[in-house]
Amino acid sequence: MRPQPGDYNPYFDTYISLVKGDDIVSALEKNYATTISFLKSIPVEKGDYSYAPGKWSVKQVIIHISDTERVFTYRALSIARGDTAALPGYDENIWAANSAPEKRTIADVTEEFSLLRQNTIHLFKTFGEEQFLRKGIANSKPASVIALAFVIAGHELHHLNVLKERYGLQNI
């Protein structure tokens, strides 16, 4: 099943449109294999590279992918479990500025993503159709569990494209 318009903030259309097919768990598994291979191929010396002043480093982008996955997985879990509380947004730039990438290596942030994604996949495998169709409010907008799962997958693909195109990592 795919998310339906009205089940999520239209801002996320770009991410959701990047995800192929209707099976979110399969999409996350496929993305995982591709992403891990790509991240492991990034040379160590590229970790602190930023393509322009004020832009995130490669490590910050990878940390951002993981941070966002954690936030959206929490939102999905909360809604799937029937919590009706409105869930807050977050400021990705504040989080990135406080992620301490200088204390991390590419291998470390890759391992973090790997473990997180395995956990996300396992969690989503436990959800049935009823949980995926539940809706709540996240960042003052409607959000279904299935939409949040698709955003996780599409957000990852979006940032992999950014790393390849803007950071010059397409040929590694």
The 8-class DSSP code of residue 87 comes to: B
Model confidence pLDDT, tens digit, residues 73-96:
999 999 999 999 999 999 999 999
Give this prediction's pTM.
0.96
Contact 133, 146 (CB under 8 A): yes
The 8-class DSSP code of residue 49 comes to: -
pLDDT of residue 172: 63
pLDDT of residue 127: 98
Distance CA 94, CA 18 (A): 26
The 8-class DSSP code of residue 41 comes to: T
Geometric angle at alpha carbon 145, from 140 and 6, rounded to 5°: 55
The three-class DSSP label of residue 61 is: helix
Structural domains for the chain: 10-165 (1.20.120.450)
Low-confidence residues of the chain: pLDDT under 70: 171-172
